């Protein structure tokens, strides 16, 4: 029997060392089979064991824990316990300073400040020692307590006060990053109005089944994905897609949960349950995206595991060797060793990557791009070539009439109207396109759809054929002049639909899939960002050439089977480097998987979405260029964070044994840098579009 997974949300973890302490505290409990703790998202997942005992163990380790679905209050300065301890300890230190100036009992006030600031790091240190780990709580408590016997109680208290202040501020900032996407759910309605045969009823949103008809009032948020069945309005989708322009919707339009309804009342037929809506899935995937970490983060963690013991060893030698070998002063060298102990904390280094990655993932989600994990974000930053599918990606995926070529026997408008009368009886996409292009006239009689060939109908007693050349030949209709008409269709890159009446060829209707309105601009942005852009399509070469020419792409490859697309991906990678594939169909899934990064368009099939590394929730193709820019900006932020962290540590480690780093400066340098790294990473939450040219960011 498989044990069910349990999940909780842990707050107060400052780096991966804290996550390791939480993991070790839970692992040692009876009945626990497996434990996963993700510092960046605050998720604790385990199998087996007693839930109450596990949550108690996490709290005893110095961290707060709650159920994953519990309400999340916005962080407030005065609610953070570490900041309360820092404020109390800081007030006592200030009083000690005044007392020292007045020859008062300063020592007792300094010791009191140390005690007031100590609870959180002391609890964490005890938990870490029990778990046989050395984390920053152990190092800070060791430095603070070690300062007392050498007459530096004030500095010891300052260490813990600054540590409490720094970790408290970090907790607030990191909570903002972790909850940035989940706050999209805060305004979601808890109840929804369902339309019944007998009227309407208000029920919990979680109880609404698939296929139910619900009402969305003006000014309300859409609670569940659905299709408009009645009403018209404009929707603000900025919280989902980053689009500032309202979206007009009418019957038949698909609507995503989280959209804000404008002035019209809408009725929707739900296409999923609330728990499976696009918004809920976006939040779930973004919260769990850190599970698959990038190479940079794994490398930093491995370095930190070596760095901390190494610096602690150097600190031990610093405290013992000079007094024993060179008759140095024990108190002086112990003080310098304690400064090194503080510097041994790799907090800024180990949070330099995960906080930036979580902020980048959340920022992308808030702007309509869902990235699966940190590893995918890292790959997106390396892309130098982009390949597009044509149908449904560069084009709208909805065929339309793009031209009419009539013979001398009939006018172009009359030819189109004739074809449309027959086409109205068919649901084929090409037939719908022809029918939509001409509204006049009644339908045809006795319409028969001949698979793979076209339509046959009767109008005023005459047989009218609408289809390909094989249809005309099979029905015995004359096809004189058909070759010239088909050649014109090839030149236009369109699908030819021949029309004949009473055995005479009257002309051809050209049907094509028009390119997206923003495709040319999107391709232009990409061409300034990467080395090469190509089109890989299974459509006929003339149609692919036409679409590519319209958007400014010179490398157009048509007639490709899914296996051929894989070969093309490998060939492009060999010449241009890491490649991204942008597509939306099941036939694109192999290419999406084979590319270094796969990007699925909105409306993509489930197979394509499961295969891709990122998905665009907006119909705007320009988001693909924005996504690459955002990934590069994220990579640059991570590199800047790592460089600043390592440089600061190198300086402090070099100067501490020489006596140039007092305890307060060591902790201020470490926690201050952690705050700077966190704040610098939080810029990625904004992820503004168009701030910096893509080719200048982190290249």
Which two tokens mark 331? 């108190």
Tell me the HSE value of 280 on the side-chain side, using a 13 A CA sphere: 15
Our answer to whether residue 389 is catalytic in this structure is: yes
Instruction: Tell me the three state secondary structure of residue 385.
Output: strand
Q: Report the alpha-carbon distance of residue 374 to residue 292 in Å, rounded.
A: 6
Q: Report the alpha-carbon distance of residue 563 to residue 582 in Å, rounded.
A: 16
Q: Report the alpha-carbon distance of residue 158 to residue 155 in Å, rounded.
A: 5
Beta strands at 579-583 and 385-388: parallel, antiparallel or unpaired: parallel
- Three-state SS string across 56-93, please? HHHHHCCCEEECCCCCCCCCCHHHCHHHHHHHHHHHHH
Taking the CB of residue 312, how many other CB atoms lie within 10 A of it? 20
- Residue 647: burial class (beta carbons within 10 Å; 0-12, 13-18, 19+): exposed
C-alpha distances in angstroms, 223 versus 205, 220, 404, 416, 480?
7, 9, 45, 43, 58
Taking the CB of residue 694, how many other CB atoms lie within 10 A of it? 22
Taking the CB of residue 662, how many other CB atoms lie within 10 A of it? 17
Instruction: Single out the residue of 104, 132, 113, 116 nearest to residue 23, CA to CA.
Output: 132
- Residue 324: burial class (beta carbons within 10 Å; 0-12, 13-18, 19+): exposed
Please say whether the beta carbons of 572 and 355 come within 8 A.
no
Residue 392 DSSP class: I
Apex CA 661: angle with CA 656 and CA 664, to 5°? 130
Please say whether the beta carbons of 546 and 494 come within 8 A.
yes
Instruction: Tell me the three state secondary structure of residue 232.
Output: coil
Q: Report the alpha-carbon distance of residue 159 to residue 141 in Å, rounded.
A: 9
- Residue 71: burial class (beta carbons within 10 Å; 0-12, 13-18, 19+): exposed
Task: State how far Cα 479 lies from the chain centre.
Answer: 55
Q: What is the largest CA-CA distance in the chain?
A: 119
Q: Report the alpha-carbon distance of residue 581 to residue 593 in Å, rounded.
A: 9
Which two tokens mark 666? 């060591």
Residue 694 DSSP class: G
**H or E stretch including 249?**
strand 247-249
Q: Catalytic: which of 135, 225, 236, 389?
A: 389
- Alpha-carbon torsion 7, 12, 16, 18, what sign? negative
Q: Which residues of 422-459 are buried (b: 16+ CB within 10 A; e: fewer)?
A: bbbbbeeebbbbbbebbeeeeebeebebeeebbbbbeb
Task: State how far Cα 623 lies from the chain centre.
Answer: 13
In what order do the strands lie in the sheet containing 385-388? 369-371, 614-616, 597-600, 579-583, 385-388, 532-536, 555-557
Q: Would you please indicate which residues are annotated as catalytic (active-site) residues?
A: 389
């Amino acid at each position: 029997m498989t044990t069910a997974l349990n999940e909780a949300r842990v707050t107060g973890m400052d780096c991966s060392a804290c996550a390791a302490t939480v993991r070790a505290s839970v692992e040692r409990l009876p009945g626990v089979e497996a434990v996963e703790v993700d510092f960046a998202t605050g998720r604790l997942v385990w199998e087996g064991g007693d839930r109450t005992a596990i949550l108690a163990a996490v709290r005893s380790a110095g961290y707060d824990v709650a159920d994953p679905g519990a309400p999340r209050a916005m962080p407030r300065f005065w609610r953070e316990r570490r900041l309360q301890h820092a404020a109390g300890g800081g007030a006592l230190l200030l009083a000690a300073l005044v007392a020292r100036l007045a020859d008062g009992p300063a020592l007792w006030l300094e010791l009191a400040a140390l005690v007031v600031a100590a609870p959180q790091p002391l609890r964490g240190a005890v938990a870490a020692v029990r778990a046989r780990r050395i984390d920053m709580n152990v190092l800070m408590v060791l430095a603070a307590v070690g300062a007392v016997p050498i007459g530096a109680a004030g500095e010891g208290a300052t260490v813990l006060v600054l540590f409490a202040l720094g970790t408290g501020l970090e907790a607030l900032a990191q909570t903002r990053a972790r909850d940035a996407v989940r706050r999209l759910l805060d305004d979601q309605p808890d109840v929804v109005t369902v339309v019944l045969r007998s009227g309407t009823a208000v029920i919990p949103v979680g109880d609404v089944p698939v296929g139910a008809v619900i009402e969305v009032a003006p000014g309300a948020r859409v609670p569940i994905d659905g299709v408009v069945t009645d009403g018209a309005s404009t929707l603000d989708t900025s919280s989902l897609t980053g689009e500032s322009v309202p979206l007009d919707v009418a019957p038949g339009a698909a609507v995503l949960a989280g959209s804000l309804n404008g002035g019209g009342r809408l009725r929707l037929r739900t296409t999923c349950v609330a728990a499976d809506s696009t918004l809920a899935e976006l939040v779930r995937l973004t919260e769990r995206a850190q599970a698959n970490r990038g190479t940079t983060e794994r490398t930093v963690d491995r370095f930190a595991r070596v760095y901390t013991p190494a610096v602690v060893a150097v600190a031990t030698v610093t405290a013992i060797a000079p007094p024993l070998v060179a008759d140095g002063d024990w108190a002086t060298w112990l003080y310098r060793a304690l400064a090194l102990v503080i510097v041994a904390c790799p907090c800024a280094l180990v949070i330099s990557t995960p906080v930036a990655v979580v902020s980048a993932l959340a920022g992308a989600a808030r702007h309509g791009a869902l990235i699966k994990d940190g590893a995918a974000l890292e790959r997106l930053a390396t892309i130098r070539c982009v390949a597009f599918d044509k149908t449904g990606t560069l084009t709208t995926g909805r065929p339309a009439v793009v031209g009419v070529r009539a013979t001398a026997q009939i006018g172009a408008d009359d030819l189109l109207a004739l074809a449309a009368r027959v086409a109205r009886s068919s649901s084929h996409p090409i037939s719908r396109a022809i029918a939509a292009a001409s509204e006049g006239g009644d339908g045809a009689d006795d319409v028969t759809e001949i698979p793979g060939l076209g339509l046959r109908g009767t109008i005023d007693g005459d047989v009218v054929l609408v289809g390909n050349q094989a249809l005309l030949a099979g029905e015995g209709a004359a096809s004189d002049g058909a070759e010239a008409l088909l050649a014109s269709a090839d030149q236009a890159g369109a699908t030819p639909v021949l029309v004949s009446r009473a055995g005479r060829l009257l002309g051809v209707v050209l049907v094509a899939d028009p390119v997206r309105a923003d495709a040319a601009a999107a391709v232009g942005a990409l061409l300034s960002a990467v080395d090469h852009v190509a089109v890989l399509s299974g459509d006929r070469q003339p149609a692919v050439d036409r679409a590519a020419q319209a958007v400014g792409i010179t490398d157009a490859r048509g007639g490709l089977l899914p296996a051929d697309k894989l070969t093309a991906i490998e060939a492009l990678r060999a010449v241009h480097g890491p490649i991204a594939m942008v597509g939306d169909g099941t036939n694109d899934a192999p290419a999406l998987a084979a590319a270094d990064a796969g990007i699925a368009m909105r409306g993509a099939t489930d197979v394509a979405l499961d295969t891709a590394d990122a998905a665009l929730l907006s119909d705007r193709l320009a988001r693909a260029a924005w996504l690459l820019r955002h990934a590069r900006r994220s990579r640059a932020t991570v590199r800047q964070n790592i460089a600043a962290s390592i440089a600061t540590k190198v300086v402090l480690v070099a100067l501490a044994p020489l006596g140039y780093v007092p305890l307060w400066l060591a902790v201020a340098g470490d926690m201050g840098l952690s705050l700077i790294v966190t704040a610098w990473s939080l810029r990625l939450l904004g992820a503004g579009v168009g701030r910096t040219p893509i080719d200048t960011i982190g290249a």
